[in-house]
A and B are shown apart, each in its own frame.
Chain A
């Protein structure tokens, strides 16, 4: 398939090219919806389609007004700030607990390994709506308790609730990526370190951590994007003060859809391109370290 042999018949030639056209169309289907919103977000009018001026490539048809709205309208700035507060904290919790647990799971003798793994992965398996409703009841009680017994402010408990809920959702991704990295980890390195007199803590931070860091970072990116993207759980667990960017987009899509949403979407696409690039670089680095093909 990779190249057409010189002896191919006409039929084979037709099939060869039409197959590529089909695959091209499918890839177009995958990527076009994401790319098409980028030019649309520069629309000078409040329309969701290309205006005649835009099609004529007239500079007057384009403007940055939706971006100005995004970065000046409190309806969008607050959610952006909330997302940028919640996602990093949720990521820190998922990554620190998840990495420890993944290291524990990769030891050679772990009782009930399968059962533990199933429990830790469950936030990824259980449909979000079920997780959200379960957390809704749990966190409303926990929130009341934190306000009444610990005397925390309503806004702070609101953030804690959403952060904890998002941390739980991000954990499976950290577990999966870090466990995968640990499969290729040479255990004799930790033994060698211990042999030379390093304490377990020193061994962990000086020997093991640098080697599994790519896995930890990509797990962290997954956890970050899970929280940054999440809308169902925050809808149920959060209060209006914790409105995140996806929540605001969701509200916009359900009620009065404003073209600013396209500007937001474009910015988020740029963020995902950055994430994808980081993951790709990390993956190549770890493959190189393990002596696999550079890809």
Chain B
């Protein structure tokens, strides 16, 4: 065998070439990297996160975790309204949520699924403060130490937090409250709600748990824990207090939390309300996607929305139908222009091309304003028609704020996107083919239809997909000239983002729209190729 070829620096040639290639690849990637990172960070990932909202439903589990856990094995068939344990858990969750001002957000979230829940949550939020007050008073009556914040800190806080808190000089934020490790086993409910109390007191009110008496629901939890486990042995100084309190519990007047909620709003006695909360307690949901296609998730399974709320399938179909109509109009109007441009001598064609390119370069808002002005009842078009006597003065055409307005304006706006790709394809068809067909005896029509037209189909395909992709996601023009009958799915997405604040549904509608566009784009890439996208001729 011949010996290994060496490069000038003495390395084997193969290794040297590989190294050069690797370096070249690396350099290319280094040039691309800044932009790629920029687009990924500011565009792709934000859109991904936005679309993720369409399945995300953590708000229920995060806001009322105790209730979700207590509801897990509630069976609506057996008992129409959940038991006292669910209401007690709900009172604690609501107390935290109200302090964090999250109960109204949860109310609006659940209101998308069952109307009335928003006001139910808002009303009850004002009452939850008093729930468990009876227990607070009775504990204080047994021993006033129960009303002393210091007792609670000794009982609940980890020793290291007590040390840190004592060392804290009052400057800056107080050290974050740390729960004692053993108390979670001894008094689980109380420990959990007290930890929430300490956290909220520190973060929202900027007070110290050492100076604040716990919420009433903390006493409710303590009562429940001690009743459930009267023999609990708690180490430390508060242990004796607990031991002394336990025998008194039997004499406590019990509070009816459920009655307190029902007194706030009798909606809490409805099975429907609790079924909705139970149905939507999972961290992920397909509910938004079901809503986006006019279905809804009911406690008994998936069902159609009520007849008068079925709007999205209609809206998707309308968006598709109008986009198809706009695309067809663009083909009909664009083909003759592209043909003439492709068959005129270059100098004349360039002059006419300006008439196509000027609208292409003109601001979208300018063109939309022009149509808004022209299509009005008192606008130039109606005036002209009346002047010619084609339309009676008292019977002017309604050209705007309906589907007609949207189609006229959007056909005008998208026509250049049809003409330009079509023109670049038509230009490549040799005119000699048409002459050959004619000299072989074809009529003008046959020559066009059998010879010229089939060769122009790729251009029609490219232009159509381009126009359709742009049309289907249009927002501004339908919003301005479309009225209520001429709006697209995009307008509904914008409505849900900025007005109704139902972001999950907006994300689900957006995901469906994006899927349709990406599918078409994939087809466009197969037919035309991304690299062949041409701008401005």
Chain A contacts to B: CB under 8 angstroms: 1-2, 12, 15, 19-20, 22-23, 26-27, 29-31, 33-34, 36-37, 40, 47-50, 97-98, 100-101, 103-105, 107-111, 116-123, 125-139, 164-165, 167-168, 171, 173, 176-177, 179-180, 218, 222, 225, 228-229, 231-232, 236, 246, 249-250, 253-254, 257, 261-262, 265, 268-269, 272-273, 275-276, 279-280, 283, 293, 295
Contacts and interface: CB of A to CB of B under 8 A. Distances in A.
Contacts of B36: 101, 116, 119-120
A112 B436 CA distance: 45
Contacts of B364: 229, 231, 246
B362 A268 contact: yes
B530 A121 contact: yes
Which 5 A-B residue pairings sit nearest by Cβ, starting from the closest?
A127-B473, A104-B31, A138-B46, A134-B47, A101-B35
B374 A36 contact: yes
13 contacts: A12-B444, A31-B355, A37-B369, A50-B380, A100-B31, A110-B25, A128-B490, A129-B473, A135-B42, A136-B497, A168-B42, A265-B365, A268-B363
Given A30-B356, A34-B359, A136-B497, A250 B514 contact: no
A242 to B, nearest CB: 16
B131 interface: no
A276 to B, nearest CB: 5
Interface string B373-389: 11010111001000000
A109 B28 contact: yes
A131 B490 CA distance: 11
B277 interface: no
Contacts of A12: 444
Contacts of B343: 1-2
B523 to A, nearest CB: 12
A98 B47 CA distance: 21
Given A123-B39, A130-B514, A23 B380 contact: no
A272 B43 contact: no
B154 to A, nearest CB: 36
B44 A119 contact: yes
B373 A48 contact: yes
A61 B506 CA distance: 49
B531 A117 contact: yes
Given A26-B336, A48-B373, A125-B518, A31 B346 contact: no
B368 A253 contact: yes
Contacts, number: 272
B392 interface: no
B463 to A, nearest CB: 15
Given A23-B336, A229-B365, A137 B50 contact: yes
Contact of A134 (B49, B339, B431): B49
Given A27-B355, A130-B513, A138-B49, A269 B362 contact: yes
A149 B51 CA distance: 27
Contacts of B363: 225, 228-229, 246, 265, 268-269, 272
B531 A179 contact: yes
A253 B365 contact: yes
A177 B536 CA distance: 10
Contacts of A120: 35-36, 39
A249 B369 contact: yes
A268 B345 contact: no
A148 to B, nearest CB: 15
A137 B507 CA distance: 12
B367 A34 contact: yes
A188 to B, nearest CB: 16
Interface string B333-356: 100110110011110001010111
B451 interface: no
Contact of B358 (A26, A100, A110, A276): A276
Contacts of B372: 253, 257
A110 B365 contact: no
Nearest to B534: A180
A164 B39 contact: no
Given A2-B344, A121-B530, A295-B346, A126 B514 contact: yes
Contacts of A30: 355-356, 359, 412, 415-416
B419 to A, nearest CB: 9
A107 B27 contact: yes
A237 B336 CA distance: 41
Given A2-B344, A30-B355, A168-B38, A262 B415 contact: no
Interface stretch (B201-209, B219-227, B279-287, B475-483): B475-483
